[in-house]
Every structure is written in structure tokens, then in C-alpha cells.
């Protein structure tokens, strides 16, 4: 939070504002500063974020705290994680609390996680996309479809350069907890299938996570701190905004 106090006494005296006019002028200045600040935050987010851009911008919220007092906040887990940064963490802790998880006979739980992929020609900036398919992988799926085969992409059908499973390096999480290196059991493109939902074509694969999943198999490597609010506030020209508001207010 960056508390900012605005003193318009000099303007009220210079232009002979009445008490009511001073109140209106304060509101004018405050509104212009908030709009300017949010604009700079959004500019930073637009230039640096991709798939999470809309989530972040939609999380910006203005609150009328009290008379002549406003607050700009971020709502939602993702916007705050992007703003403040987040250490590596175990995604299974969240999965096991999901209302969509299934309970296994004899105890334990499991959950099916969808991974949606954007096509090579798309912007792919929606947060629902896990990744963008390489052209060769996309073409492999199209070749199957042309043959009338709508089954998921098999390991043997994935172009050679994409067959190798990815390796997550060792990362450090909250309270210096160390998550060892982990190699995926298969390439991320294995199992992708073309589907249709609500008249929209989608490409997705599905992974199963459960209480028996490998300890290091679902570790999120963390989110870098962007500090858009902190950086944007240093760009706001308060004096200039106040002068312009005064000129507009008195009709100059």
C-alpha cells in the first residue's frame, strides 16, 4: 500500500475556491490520479505479461474508503502472486482440497487435470492455455484427423525432437524448502486430442494426480515478483496532474 496525501490548499487560496468548490476539486484531482496510476499499471502489465495479463488487469479494483479517500487493490490469487511474487510450491496441496476431486475406494483421492494448448497460429494469451503447440506437433494431430483417427496423440506419433520428457530443475520454496529435480514420465505433448466444446475447437491432454503421485511430480517453480504497483507509482506526476486538473476545473 502506498498512502498518498494531496494538499490543495494553495490552489483553493489562489483561485478563491469556496468550501464546496474545494471539495469538488479534491475529488477531481483524486480521480485523475487514480486513473493515471491504473493506466501506468496496465501499461506495465500489457508489456510484460502474456497468458496471465487479463487475469491481472481484471483483478485491479478501486475502493472508496471514505470521503476523499480511495484505495487501489488487487483481487484474486493470481494477480497478487504476480504482483508480490511466489516461491515454489506443491500444487498437490491445492488439488487435494478441490471440490472436483474423486475419492478412491479404500481411501485416498485423485483428480484429472486438463492441459489446454493453443494452436501455432494463435496468440495464446488466455490463461486457460498451458502452452502453445509447435507447428510439427500440431501437424501430427492434423495428419491423424485426416486419416479418420481421433484418438489422443501417442508417444510414437510425436515428432522426434519433442519426444524427450522435460526436466524440472531443483527449486527452493517457502521457508527454504527444497524440491529436488524431477523428470516428467512422458513428453507434455503426449495425449493431446482435438475436441469440441460449445462450438469451439480445443486441443487438450489430461493428467491424473492423486495422493499417491510422486512427491516432486507437481511442483510449481514459482512466480516472479513484478511489483507493477510499486513501479507505476514512481511514474505518476502528481504535480502535473494537479495543475492540469486545476486548469480544467476553472475552465482554462
Per-residue pLDDT tens digits for 149-172 = 999 999 999 999 999 999 999 999
Is pTM beyond 0.75? Reply is yes
User: Confidence band (pLDDT; 50, 70, 90) for 10?
Assistant: confident
| CA angle, residues 132, 133, 138, in degrees to nearest 5 | 150
Comparing CA positions, the residue from 86, 108, 106 lying closest to residue 96 is: 108
SS3 166: coil
The CB-side HSE value for 211 (13 A sphere, CA atoms) comes to 12
Within 10 A of 16 (CB to CB), how many other CB atoms are there? 8
d(CA 241, CA 128): 38
User: Confidence band (pLDDT; 50, 70, 90) for 127?
Assistant: low
* Share above pLDDT 70 across residues of the chain, in percent, rounded to a whole number: 95
SS3 202: strand
Q: 84 phi and psi, to 5 degrees?
A: -95, -15
DSSP string, 85-103: -B-BEETHHHHTT-TT-EE
Question: Is 70 exceeded by the pLDDT of residue 2?
Answer: no
User: Confidence band (pLDDT; 50, 70, 90) for 126?
Assistant: low
Comparing CA positions, the residue from 168, 139, 165, 135 lying closest to residue 153 is: 139
Per-residue pLDDT tens digits for 40-81 = 999 999 999 988 899 999 999 999 888 888 899 999 999 999
Most distant pair of Cα atoms in the chain: their distance: 81
List strand residue ranges (DSSP E) for the chain, in order. 60-66, 69-74, 89-90, 102-103, 109-118, 129-132, 167-168, 171-172, 178-179, 182-183, 193-197, 200-210, 219-220
Amino acid at each position: 500500500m502506498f498512502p498518498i496525501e494531496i494538499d490543495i490548499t494553495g490552489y483553493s487560496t489562489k483561485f478563491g475556491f469556496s468550501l464546496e468548490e474545494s471539495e469538488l476539486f479534491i475529488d477531481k484531482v483524486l480521480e485523475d490520479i487514480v486513473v493515471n496510476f491504473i493506466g501506468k499499471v496496465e501499461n506495465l502489465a500489457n508489456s510484460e505479461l502474456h497468458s496471465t495479463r487479463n487475469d491481472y488487469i481484471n483483478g485491479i479494483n478501486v475502493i472508496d474508503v471514505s470521503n476523499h479517500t480511495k484505495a487501489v487493490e488487487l483481487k484474486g490469487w493470481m494477480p497478487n502472486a504476480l504482483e508480490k511474487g511466489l516461491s515454489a510450491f506443491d500444487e498437490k496441496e491445492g488439488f487435494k482440497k478441490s471440490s472436483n476431486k474423486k475419492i478412491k475406494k479404500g481411501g485416498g483421492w485423485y483428480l484429472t487435470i486438463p492441459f489446454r494448448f493453443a494452436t501455432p497460429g494463435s496468440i495464446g494469451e488466455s490463461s486457460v492455455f498451458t502452452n502453445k503447440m509447435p507447428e510439427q506437433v500440431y501437424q501430427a494431430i492434423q495428419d491423424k484427423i485426416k486419416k479418420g483417427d481421433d484418438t489422443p496423440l501417442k508417444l510414437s506419433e510425436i515428432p522426434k525432437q519433442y519426444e524427450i520428457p522435460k526436466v524440472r530443475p531443483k527449486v527452493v520454496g517457502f521457508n527454504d524448502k527444497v524440491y529436488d529435480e524431477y523428470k516428467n514420465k512422458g513428453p507434455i505433448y503426449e495425449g493431446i486430442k482435438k475436441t469440441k466444446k460449445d462450438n469451439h475447437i480445443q486441443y487438450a491432454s489430461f493428467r491424473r494426480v492423486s495422493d499417491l503421485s510422486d512427491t516432486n511430480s507437481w511442483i510449481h517453480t514459482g512466480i516472479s515478483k513484478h511489483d507493477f504497483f510499486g513501479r507505476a507509482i514512481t511514474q505518476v506526476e502528481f504535480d502535473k496532474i494537479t495543475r492540469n486538473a486545476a486548469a480544467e476545473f476553472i475552465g482554462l
